[in-house]
Structure 1
Amino acid sequence: MKRGQDVPDSRSKAVRIASSHLITSCATAAAIILFVALGSQVVPAAFDGLQVQAHDNALSVAFILNIAIILFGWRRSKDLKEALDAYDKAERLAERNANTDPATGLANRRELMSALELSLAAKSSGVLLLLDLDHFKRVNDLHGHLAGDKLLKIVADALVDEAPADSCCARIGGDEFAILLDGASAKEAEKVAQGILSRLSKPVDLGTVRVFVSASIGLSQVRKLQKEEDVLRESDFALYAAKRAGRNCFAWFDPELERELTDRVQLEEDIRSGIENGEFVPFFQPLIDLTSRELVGFEALARWRSPTRGFLEAETFIEAAEKTGLIGPLTISVVEQALKEARDWPPHLKIAINVSPVQFRDPQLAQHIMKVVTEAGFPAHRLEVEITEASLLEDREQVLATIGSLKNVGISISLDDFGTGYASLSQVNTLPIDRIKIDKSFISTIVKSEQTAAIVNTITSLGHTLNVPITAEGIESEQVRNELGKYGCAEGQGYLFGRPLSADTVRTFLDMKERNDGRESPSESEEEARPKIRRSW
């Protein structure tokens, strides 16, 4: 039975009990009146020793039956009264449970929304304060759920102490709380928020352990003509702003923030549907041997052919995909397409793919990549997986295990964007990497800055010492390429050699290279591909 049907059924049951009790009470009262009337005739006759006639016998029988009815009615009325009292008690308990959070004793979400509805109906001003504990899951994971429940009760007590007596303090789910400050000004609301933050900044004693917690708080004004859901949503946006500002602080709702978050949510939904519809495709940027000037491979880069947003580069969607956990399926989809496309290319050409640091949280990452390689029929030794220095901030042991599994099947590993992250020279010496890629921010200024040139020289010298080849990213001029030649960089990529290209364009270009370069009349497809990719480097 649906929850909405419980209330009417319960009320009808109460009405039936009350009706039965009333009818029984009335019947018993009538029986008592009749008892008195009959008794006034039967009892005197019995005491006077009068001859009882047939009519008197009937009165005597009726009198006795009336006594039985009175006794039965009294007992029945008593039972019904007890049932009605029990129902009233259960009704009060159910109502209290329906509006109270059992873990903290605060109001629950239902009661908060009712209080907010009343406040809006009265057209009174106020502030809704939404609070979320920072890293509460860590307390549960480290100390158990009993400690977590105790912490929630302590937080609830702090809210009650800091908020005015007439406020509605509620726990609305998980580690999320709310306070409705009816009639409060912005200054008064900020005072309450600051008091809560100060209270929670102190160590919390959970009995066996002491923990340090903090909270993020979102504030929104309760305004006329709003709906309850709108006020709660605005507080939620403000809470997000507080978390983005570094947590352990409060923030007010900002309409601009709402537009930003709405756009972001829509972007995330579009990414999800884009993965399902195959809108993310690989584009390929040439990798060139700087000594022989020969093409040695391509780096596969994700591009989004969105029917509503147009053609987008990775910078516009990678961060959103990482934060929503969609980066894994997105990357695997693009890699799968890239490897199926490249498996029939000349066997000396390699494919380099990027792996986000977020993906290293998945202990099955190596298995996912190896499965794609196997299903695509792509030789593992032609695949190079690029990891960034930020990946080393994840679980180092898991990262090393993933790298080891990939190398065991012949896949090579390169350290991408070197110089911009957290890896030190000593760390590089201990990592099982096959290549170092210098970030383009250094390459683009190498001819303008002696300091940058010195850094590039140091990195290339390190590579020579460790016998690890160096690739330079972002080469856009002959001058930069000639400068890199002095340092012994092995490979390079950048707009000097070609921008990222579609699979069709690369296929056309590779077909061109297999034909006779001296042919006088190039085909139409060759002419179309010529300005997009250089035929020699």
Structure 2
Amino acid sequence: MKGPTNKAVRIASSHIITTCATIAALLMFVVLGSQVLSPAFAHAHLPENADTLKVAFLLNIAIVLFGWRRSKDLGEALAAYEEAEKLARRNANTDPTTGLSNRRELMRSLEDTIEAKKSGVVLLLDLDHFKRVNDLHGHLAGDHLLRFVGEVLVKSAPAGSCCARIGGDEFAVMLEGIGSAEAERVANAILRGFAKPVPVDKSEVRVSVSIGLAAMAGAMREEDVLRQSDVALYAAKRAGRDCFAWFDRELERELSERLKLEEDIRFGIQNKEFVPFFQPLIDLETRELVGFETLARWRSPTRGFVEAEAFIETAESTGLIGPLTMMIMEQALTEARSWPQHLKLAVNVSPVQFRDKTLAEQITKVLTRTGFAAHRLEIEVTEGSLLEDRDQVRTIMQSLKNLGISISLDDFGTGYASFAQVNTLPIDRIKIDKSFISTIVKSEQTAAIVNSIASLGHTLKVPITAEGVESEQIRNELKKFGCSEAQGWLFGRAVSADTVRTFLGMREPDDAADPLPDPEDAVRFTPRLRRR
């Protein structure tokens, strides 16, 4: 509902003044009339009645002034009300940080454009690694960057376009009445806007954006347009970020498959189709078995045997990684509880899970339910975890260590952890990513990197584990650098719990016990691996 207009204020003020003037006139008439009707009036002289007329005149002026004052107060009150209502409407449709339209205003604009059967294109944008800026420079710097994004959008889009921030670091631009060529020109202009470093908090940061484009068609709903542009945005991110992609039917098919995968994962968690597999961890010097890393595998009745690479990313993006990890952890700890007590068990925790403040509490409950000794459990965190809320990540790590759980930094060298960050984290082990290990004998540069990481471990008094060891030559090189433990196909692939128990001498081989085995489960541990 619209607020009062200036015309309404003037009419109300005029009514007040007119009413007061009328009252004043009536009062004057009463005073003069009483004088005329008085018998003494006929014999009185005008100067003798001057005081009475003065009083009446002054009273009239007071009434008129009172009416004017009331009219002015009313006008000011109505004007303030109108301004407040305008501000409320503006705030309801505007993002307070950037000054752009918000999601509500974008949806209204989309609805109006679609109802008018006008053509156009929607650009959906997402800042790449925006959280890193918040973590390194603070939220004020993050807000500054968001405002910069808004400025780039307004400069790049044609005048009158709806530029909106629709949540977090996600933005949208609605281009009305233009074709694909003009839309691509706008997208390229936006990308160029981030070609140079952005000044933030007395320093400069390099950021990029990913853009998804979707054309508006006559029979579409506004939700459909945003969904299609979101699919295109996902394609741009998969293409390497810092680019744009158009929505097409092939992408829609991929989205449908991704949604089906998500549904199957959810169903698989409910029906305990995910199981732990175990890859041996060995002492590089003695070749003795020191423990296992737990890896998730999916025994799907429709998809067959599925390795983690095929479902982990989807589980992370849909929030299913938490319950999946806890289910795998509980099965693994229950299984390994009866294994020789010197064997440790390493379990991976996704960076996404560190957004949950109750993570340490969840792991504690799993330990309690399974009766597994905390000192035998090692939680592996990747460098990606350091891009989350750093203080919260450090608090969770410390809570786990207080329980006796050890912490290892997994895939070191592939992410964003610096030597300084490692020094401040409560970690007990560094694991070098297999991408470095596999080329250590072929590249002097890679060998130098591995040597530097091993030296860092020695300085911090933190043992180093190498992943992806596939040959004796690699094993010998790692021993020279001082790495203490290793895992890889040289020592054994990830195998089922039944295979582990057989190797440990806890059961007789029984191929019929595993109705859906790993196709490579027949590859047993190498004879060169020794039990203690």
Kindly tell me: are residues 228 and 322 of structure 1, through their superposed partners in 2, closer, same or farther at Cα, counting changes over 3 Å?
A: closer
Give the Cα separation in 1 of the matches to 2:447 and 2:240: 36
Conserved in 2, the CA contact under 8 Å of 1:280 and 1:303?
Answer: yes
1:271 equivalent to 2:268? Answer no
Which of 110, 113, 116 is 2:114 aligned to?
Answer: 116
Partner of 2:84: none
Give the Cα separation in 2 of the matches to 1:171 and 1:488: 54
Kindly tell me: are residues 228 and 534 of structure 1, through their superposed partners in 2, closer, same or farther at Cα, counting changes over 3 Å?
A: same
Which of 103, 119, 134 is 1:126 aligned to?
Answer: 119
Q: CA deviation at 1:353?
A: 0.8
Give the Cα separation in 1 of the matches to 2:152 and 2:305: 48
1:470 equivalent to 2:467? Answer no
1:440-459 → structure 2 map (5 Å cutoff): 440-459=434-453
Q: CA deviation at 1:372?
A: 0.7
Three-state SS of the structure 1 residue aligned to 2:410 is strand
1:339 equivalent to 2:339? Answer no
1:83-482 → structure 2 map (5 Å cutoff): 103=93, 113=111, 116=114, 119=117, 126-129=119-122, 162-163=159-160, 179=174, 181=176, 184-187=178-181, 219-222=213-216, 233-238=227-232, 240=234, 251-482=245-476
Q: CA deviation at 1:102?
A: 7.2
Aligned length: 401
Partner of 2:524: 532
Q: CA deviation at 1:305?
A: 1.5
Kindly tell me: are residues 218 and 463 of structure 1, through their superposed partners in 2, closer, same or farther at Cα, counting changes over 3 Å?
A: closer
Long gaps (5+) in structure 1: 1-100, 120-124, 144-152, 202-212, 515-521
Q: CA deviation at 1:114?
A: 7.4
CA offset digits 1:218-260 (Å, max 9, x no partner): 5444558878876665345345556778999865333333233
Q: CA deviation at 1:416?
A: 1.5
CA offset digits 1:94-146 (Å, max 9, x no partner): xxxxxxx9747998858855763663xxxxx83343557879xx9xx989xxx
Conserved in 2, the CA contact under 8 Å of 1:237 and 1:253?
Answer: yes
Kindly tell me: are residues 215 and 292 of structure 1, through their superposed partners in 2, closer, same or farther at Cα, counting changes over 3 Å?
A: closer
TM-score by length of 2: 0.62
Give the Cα separation in 2 of the matches to 1:478 and 1:219: 51
Give the Cα separation in 1 of the matches to 2:525 and 2:211: 53
Q: What one-letter code is carried by the residue in structure 2 that aligns with 1:274?
A: G
Q: What one-letter code is carried by the residue in structure 1 that aligns with 2:383?
A: E
Q: What one-letter code is carried by the residue in structure 2 that aligns with 1:116?
A: I
Three-state SS of the structure 2 residue aligned to 1:485 is helix
Kindly tell me: are residues 230 and 435 of structure 1, through their superposed partners in 2, closer, same or farther at Cα, counting changes over 3 Å?
A: closer
Give the Cα separation in 1 of the matches to 2:179 and 2:172: 20
Kindly tell me: are residues 461 and 248 of structure 1, through their superposed partners in 2, closer, same or farther at Cα, counting changes over 3 Å?
A: closer
Query: Quick check: 332-341 or 105-114, which moved more?
Result: 105-114
How much identity, in percent, do the aligned residues show? 63
Kindly tell me: are residues 160 and 279 of structure 1, through their superposed partners in 2, closer, same or farther at Cα, counting changes over 3 Å?
A: same
Give the Cα separation in 1 of the matches to 2:398 and 2:412: 20
Give the Cα separation in 2 of the matches to 1:345 and 1:359: 28
Give the Cα separation in 2 of the matches to 1:261 and 1:230: 13
Three-state SS of the structure 2 residue aligned to 1:162 is coil
Three-state SS of the structure 1 residue aligned to 2:504 is helix
Kindly tell me: are residues 187 and 273 of structure 1, through their superposed partners in 2, closer, same or farther at Cα, counting changes over 3 Å?
A: same
Q: CA deviation at 1:433?
A: 1.9
Three-state SS of the structure 2 residue aligned to 1:471 is strand
Give the Cα separation in 2 of the matches to 1:356 and 1:154: 35
Q: CA deviation at 1:409?
A: 1.2
Kindly tell me: are residues 248 and 284 of structure 1, through their superposed partners in 2, closer, same or farther at Cα, counting changes over 3 Å?
A: closer
Give the Cα separation in 2 of the matches to 1:216 and 1:339: 41
Conserved in 1, the CA contact under 8 Å of 2:411 and 2:433?
Answer: yes
